[in-house]
Amino acid sequence: MAGTFRDIKADILGKITRGEWPPGSLLPAETELAETYAAARATVNRAMRELAEEGILERKRKSGSRVRLSPLRQARFDIPIARQEVEAQGRRYRYALVRSEVASAPDWLLARMALPQGAQVRHLICLHFADDLPWLHEDRWINLDLLPQARTADFRAAGPTEWLMAQIPFSAVEISISATSADTGLAAHLDCAEGTALLQMERLTRWDDRTVTLVRLVHHAGHRMTTRY
């Protein structure tokens, strides 16, 4: 009936959306579907595996494949890198270092980053501009135990994001998105009124189970993160 795993996937999805296979129902086994579609089982497997990854199906050995009762859906957002985000809009990117210091981590940071008492951190505040309009406020803390090179690195020309990617290109990250109210500093840097609601993204980067860096990114007023699925 169908040649490619995409055709099979689309056909199965069609049967589900048209109600032939309602939520909760059991689908035929892979071997049976392979006969139906006159395809190899591996092909049917790929189609069903992807449907399961997308949260449409629930698969278990022996019990078979069922249509999820409430289709567990998830959205994927690209992790923004300021320069790329700005330039993708055809706007001119500019970066500025606002503040830079080496200090002992304050108590809240010790807790948040799981650092030992007295740990030293490099603290940076940076601004990213799009066509000279404030785009993103970056408040970053770098663990100097793990990245002693950060003590002397110069972040005046380029932001710490690129520098960090060169040091630890792949790592485990925990992201949380929330809303925050502009305090005096944020209002001044992002050119908005105090109290304005702003979208904040906090990223905790781990490497080998130890926290490398914590960053708070606050976007300009009105910013949206958008995606489709």
Partner DNA sequence: GAGTGGTCTAGACCACGCC
Partner DNA sequence: GCGTGGTCTAGACCACTCG
Question: Where do contacts with DNA occur on this chain (CB under 7 A)?
Answer: 3-7, 27, 29-31, 38-43, 45-46, 48-49, 52, 59-65
- Asked if 211 interacts with a copy of itself (CB under 8 A), we say no
At residue 114, the 3 state secondary structure works out as coil
Q: Least Å distance between CB 137 and a copy of itself?
A: 13
What are the angstrom distances between the C-alpha of 45 and each of 1, 3, 22, 27? 16, 14, 20, 13
Task: Out of 63, 179, 184, 209, name the contact with a copy of itself by CB under 8 A.
Answer: 179
The smaller minimum CB distance to a copy of itself, of residues 116 and 169, is found at 169
- Map residues 104-143 to x or -, x wherever contact with a copy of itself holds by CB under 8 A: ----------------------------------------
Q: What is the closest distance, in whole angstroms, from the C-beta atom of residue 60 to DNA in the complex?
A: 5
In the list 74, 117, 152, 184, the residue contacting a copy of itself (rule: CB under 8 A) is 74
Give 194-223 as a DSSP string.
TT-EEEEEEEEEEETTEEEEEEEEEEPTT-
The three-state secondary structure class of 24 is coil
Compute CA distances 160 → 57, 120, 167, 169, 198, whole Å. Answer: 42, 17, 10, 13, 22
Q: By C-beta, is 3 or 71 nearer to a copy of itself?
A: 71
Letters for 144-173 (x = contact with a copy of itself by CB under 8 A, - = none) are ---------------------x---xx-xx
Taking the least distance from each CB to DNA, the nearer of 3 and 71 is 3
Listed ranges 58-66, 78-86, 107-115, 148-156: which one lies at the site for a copy of itself (CB under 8 A): 78-86
Where b means 16+ CB within 10 Å and e means fewer, 188-200 reads ebbebeeebebbb
Nearest residue to 110 via CA among 137, 73, 143: 143
Q: Which of 137, 205, 200 is nearest to 168 (CA)?
A: 205
| Amino acid, res. 96 | A
Distance (Å, rounded) from C-alpha 181 to C-alpha 194? 8
Task: Round the CA-based radius of gyration of the chain to a whole number and report it.
Answer: 24
Cβ proximity to a copy of itself, 13 vs 110, nearer residue? 13
Does 72 interact with a copy of itself (rule: CB under 8 A)? Answer: yes
Q: Which residues bind a copy of itself (CB under 8 A)?
A: 13, 16-17, 23, 56, 70-79, 81, 84, 165, 169-170, 172-181, 195-200, 222-229
